[in-house]
Structure 1
Amino acid sequence: MLWYQIVFLALIQGLTEFLPISSSAHLILPAQLLDWQDQGLAFDVAVHIGSLVAIVAYFYKDLVKITIAWCVSLKQRRSSEDSRLAWWVVIATIPACAAGLLFNDFISTHLRSIEVIGYTTIGFGVLLWWADHYGTSLKSERDLGIKSVLYIGFAQALALIPGTSRSGITMTMGRFLGFSRESAARFSFLLSIPLILAAGSVKFLELLSSNITIDWMSIIAGVVLSAISAYACIFLFLKWLNRIGFFPFFVYRLILGSVLLLMVYL
């Protein structure tokens, strides 16, 4: 990979992993639209590590609290708001992991196309706008229950389809269920931690079993740049979300999806 490809892809991963615009779509598109060589397994691992570092660093205090509370709930059978939040993250992660095991090969073979990305980018963008425009803002993540957690978990499983956006679909479901913008976003970000860790671990195991020659300078650059851009993205997104809402992301998805479909059909 050339240096500008490394910079571009690492920044794109960091910026889009947590925005409701689909990071997978943005990582697939450069190779298809610009005729770039695929970034490869090692670089995928690197940018996932960078995103994980960013989200853990940003929510470090919250993660310590809910992890301790979760351990206490296991040992002493004593429940609290923090321990329940930890359990909700675990439960909401299960549908996506199960769907990944069952359908990953089919999705990788049949759905990683510009046409599919175009339709999902527009369709799930419209759903995001609808949920944000008509949804109420009465609940926080502390009001989560098993029913809402399962709804969000099954919605997250749809994000395996390129162009859907994991953060976008979970925030959409959160808004449909009456959670505030910030609460829907915060829970979506917490949900990303086990999934990024799982995806990164799978890719890392694949890397260990392969004979790929690793360019360590590219790997280090990918980790650092994706971590910095992801942290900045999380900070600014949560700071501005209540002010700007999800409408700008809907417009972006509508434009991007339309351009992609025009490329396919013209």
Structure 2
Amino acid sequence: MTAFLDLLLAQTPAADVSGPAKINILQAIILGIVQGLTEFLPISSSAHLKVVPLALGWADPGVAYTAVIQLGSIVAVLWYFWKDLTTIAIGAFKAIASSDYDSQEFRMAQGIGLGTIPIIFFGLLIKILVPDFDKSPLRSLGAIATASIVMSLLLAIAEKTGKRHRDYEKLEVKDGILMGLAQAMAIIPGVSRSGSTLTAGLFMGLERAAAARFSFLLGIPAITLAGLVELKSALGEGLGEGAVVALIVGTISAFVFSYISIAWLLKFLQTHNTWIFVWYRLAFGVAIWTAIAGGALVNQ
């Protein structure tokens, strides 16, 4: 048991995958849990992966590390929605072969494809214009807190005013494009990819569960690309054995808890509203600003 605890707590260098931080296995498990529980809930995984380590006295794991363990979340969403994805893919190919461009599957594929373009475009733009984005003011705690508060208010308005008269079967191409534009906002930590797309879906009159379901499908290309790019970069830098273990452990942890959060949220939104997330995000942002003002956290 002592040897096992020593293994968990042994500091392992994570090279550029975690920036200056050193991630041990216990920390990797916890970061994976945080990633998994917050990636698909509308509360911002990037914000929690920034705040939780600081609150626990750890160093910031960095955007590269968090992007790589997101691959666990991607495997989870692929597994959960495999039937939906195969139906859309097969249906889209059949629609193209028969020139039936009004089919639901073809429109879904179009919506996901076109909706992915904005976040790729702005992501590449930031990578070119702000190569040191890991240290950008946009990743500061103050920015995260402000984004969380603003998004909580937008979700509250969407919850209050949304008509919710369209279900999953009535999704259109324009829904993918508009939700894709909202998804691009999630480049800023604290906004939440899931939160921005869910909010946009409610504004457009989608039912809560339908908006969440499409949000998950829409996020697959973007999160996958981000994770693969960062993984390629990390492997190019070369990783020590300990860093590889920490990445694997964090990714597995993220997979397990991502699957749980997906299943829970879809079931929850079938019978509940989103006010719990509104109040949580508001409290989260206020708590961060309060900690900064009181000196408990540094606005970095």
Q: TM bucket by the smaller chain?
A: over 0.9
Deviations 1:4-26 (A, max 9, x none): 31121000000100000000001
Pick aligned residue for 1:162 from 171, 186, 189? 189
Answer yes or no: is 1:243 the counterpart of 2:271: yes
Distance 2:182 2:62 in 1: 28
Larger deviation, residues 196-205 vs 33-42: 33-42
In the alignment, what sits opposite 2:39? 17
- SS of the residue aligned with 1:153? helix
Deviations 1:196-215 (A, max 9, x none): 11101111121122133243
Instruction: Give the total of aligned pairs.
Output: 266
2-structure distance, mates of 1:161, 1:45 = 14
- Determine the structure 2 residue equivalent to 1:211: 238
SS at match of 2:139: coil
Q: Which residue of 2 aligns with 1:99?
A: 122
State the structure with more CA Rg. 2
Separation of aligned partners in 1, 2:201 and 2:59 = 37
Counterpart check, 1:201 vs 2:223:
no
1:30 CA displacement = 2.9
Q: Name the residue aligned to 2:86.
A: 64
Question: Unaligned regions of 5+ residues in structure 1, if any?
Answer: none
- The aligned counterpart of 2:201 is 174
Measure how far apart 1:149 and its partner are.
2.7
Structure 1 residue identity aligned to 2:265 = F
- 1:150 maps to which of 166, 177, 190: 177
Deviations 1:200-244 (A, max 9, x none): 111112112213324333233222211110001111111111323
CA deviation profile, 1:90-149 (whole Å, cap 9, x unmatched): 111111111111124545422000000011101101111210122111112332334333
Query: CA shift at 1:162, angstroms?
Result: 0.7
Partner of 2:58: 36
Matching residue of 1:26: 48
Partner Cα distance (1:157, 1:134) in 2: 23
Amino acid at match of 1:264: I
- The answer to whether the aligner puts 1:139 opposite 2:166 as a matched pair is yes
What amino acid maps onto 1:49 in structure 2? L
TM-score of the superposition, structure 1-length normalised?
0.93
The verdict on how the C-alpha distance between 1:148 and 1:69 changes in structure 2, with shifts beyond 3 A counting, is same
**Deviation of the 1:41 alpha carbon:** 6.9
- The answer to whether structure 1 residue 84 and structure 2 residue 111 are counterparts is no
Quote the residue 1:222 is aligned against.
250
Work out the percentage of aligned pairs sharing the same amino acid: 37
Which letter maps to 1:125? S
CA distance in 2, matches of 1:78, 1:32: 53
Looking at structure 2, the residues matched to 252 and 23 of structure 1 have their Cα atoms a distance apart, in angstroms, of 14
TM value normalised by structure 2: 0.83
Tell whether the 8 Å contact from 2:176 to 2:218 is kept in structure 1 after alignment: no
Give 1:116's aligned residue. 143
Name the CA shift for 1:3/1:153 in 2 (closer, same or farther; >3 Å).
same
Instruction: Show the counterpart of 2:13.
Output: none
Q: For the Cα contact (< 8 Å) 2:69–2:227, is it kept in 1?
A: no
Could you list the runs of 5+ residues in structure 2 that have no partner in the other structure? 1-22, 295-300
The answer as to whether partners of 1:46 and 1:220 remain within 8 angstroms in 2 is no
Deviation at 1:192, TM superposition (A): 1.1
Shift of residue 75, structure 1, vs aligned partner: 4.2
